[in-house]
Amino acid sequence: MSNKVSVLVAGSWGTALATVLADNGHQVLLWSRNEEQVREINEQNRNSRFLQDVELSPLIVATHSLQGAVEGADAIIMVVPSSGMREVASNMRPYLNKDALLIHATKGFETGSLKRMTEVIADELPEINPNRLVVLSGPSHAEEVIRKCPTTVVVAAQDLEAAEAAQDLLINAYFRVYTNPDVAGVEVGGALKNIIALGAGLTDGLGFGDNAKAALMTRGLAEIARLGTAMGANPLTFAGLAGIGDLIVTCTSQHSRNWRAGNKLAKGIPLDEVLQEMGMVVEGVKTTKAAYELSRRYDATMPITDELYKVLFDGKSPQLAAQDLMGRVRTHEIEEVATDAITNVLK
């Protein structure tokens, strides 16, 4: 069991995960670069910008010092948005204990390099043992975890021991943690479902109906699995918590920032205004761009992603995007590549 446990940073998800750790009896250091937020957490046990009306455990102590949070920590959970992951990983390098268990819970790719988050972390922290790197993902809105609603997640690592150490740290009566060896699959599933959630918000906002949303989710999962498999993931991971599980919650929950952003876009609000109004990270926007580029790199057909890219960045109307998706060349539902991969896994 780890002694010093830290969470970077104090956004919605970082604060919820710190609460899970505190409920498991850990004293948690929660890092934020915002001094006012640090003061509010320490003096009032609140993080009102991200989680209103929630009283935090006194076991959570906020700090403004990255050195203080990282130095001597046995376990660190990184929950910085994907756009800040490289910077934070690089800044923590001088202080990091190279044997620390490093768990990240971020859902996205790095813009430009198109790298997964474990790849970005490994780039910036070459001294750490890659076996100690874990990704946490799955259907888990902060707003429900903080209220101790029953939640299931998955932790993936190359090394089962590291995944089990993360499982030990976080599992409790309301937060059930599964392990999986498929790091790429868990990261890709967690990132790509946000694209489909943006589309679901648009679909709902435009009144396209339940059939359309079911179609979007199902065919969305097909293209997530297509790109994920091409990137080396186990296709069965997409039938699990980091695939269909997270897709369901993000496309149907009122808590989803991606769904809400899509819903606002349907009202005709321009993308930059939508992002400003949200005030929290909407990973699906950058992920749509990254997946659009990855689909070309891996020669994976992703028609929904392509259309959403055109809606977000080329000014295409969502109505025309839906029309073009419906009018695509007729095709089979299940592709040979997917059935071959699943047959091989089941052998």
Ligand X SMILES: NC(=O)C1=CN([C@@H]2O[C@H](COP(=O)(O)OP(=O)(O)OC[C@H]3O[C@@H](n4cnc5c(N)ncnc54)[C@H](O)[C@@H]3O)[C@@H](O)[C@H]2O)C=CC1
Ligand Y SMILES: O=C(CO)COP(=O)(O)O
- Tell me which residues in 125-184 interact with ligand X (CB under 6 A): 140-142
Single residue of 4, 46, 86, 107 touching ligand Y by CB under 6 A: 107
- Residues 251-290 as x/- pattern, contact with ligand X by CB under 6 A: -----------------------------xx-x-------
Q: Label residue 334 left, alpha or beta by phi (over 0 means left) and psi (-120 to 50 means alpha).
A: beta
- Tell me which residues in 261-290 interact with ligand Y (CB under 6 A): 283
Which CB sits closer to ligand Y, 61 or 220?
A: 220
- Tell me which residues in 116-145 interact with ligand Y (CB under 6 A): 139-141
Single residue of 92, 249, 290, 325 touching ligand Y by CB under 6 A: 249
Single residue of 4, 46, 116, 257 touching ligand Y by CB under 6 A: 257
The contacts of residue 121 (CB under 8 Å, 6+ apart) are 78, 85, 89, 102, 104, 128, 133
Catalytic (active site) residue 193: yes
CA 307 centroid distance within chain: 22
Q: Among 115, 109, 338, which residue's Cα sits nearest to residue 234?
A: 338
**Euclidean distance between CA atoms 156 and 102, whole angstroms:** 12
Decide which of ligand Y, ligand X, none touches 139; Cβ closer than 5 to 8 Å per partner kind: ligand Y
* Count, residues near ligand Y per rule CB under 6 A: 14
Element (H, E) at 95: none
14 binds ligand Y (CB under 6 A): no
- Residues 35-74 as x/- pattern, contact with ligand X by CB under 6 A: ---------------x------------------------
Which CB sits closer to ligand Y, 235 or 284?
A: 284
Which CB sits closer to ligand X, 82 or 203?
A: 82
Q: Calculate the dihedral angle through the C-alpha atoms of 177, 160, 245, 10, rounding to the nearest 10 degrees.
A: 60
- 3-class DSSP state of 347: coil
- 3-class DSSP state of 5: strand
Catalytic residue among 4, 115, 193, 310: 193
Neighbour count for residue 47 (Cβ, 10 Å):
27
Single residue of 37, 106, 118, 250 touching ligand Y by CB under 6 A: 250
Span from 22-30, 180-188, 242-250, 330-338 in contact with ligand Y (CB under 6 A)? 242-250
One-character DSSP codes across 118-168:
HHHHHHH-TTS-GGGEEEEESS--HHHHTTT--EEEEEE-SSHHHHHHHHH
Report yes or no: 246 and 189 within 8 Å, Cβ to Cβ. yes
Q: Residue numbers of the site for ligand X (CB under 6 A)?
A: 9-14, 33, 50, 79-82, 84, 87-88, 105-108, 140-142, 280-281, 283
Q: Residue numbers of the site for ligand Y (CB under 6 A)?
A: 107, 139-141, 194, 197, 246, 249-250, 255-258, 283
Residues with catalytic roles: 193
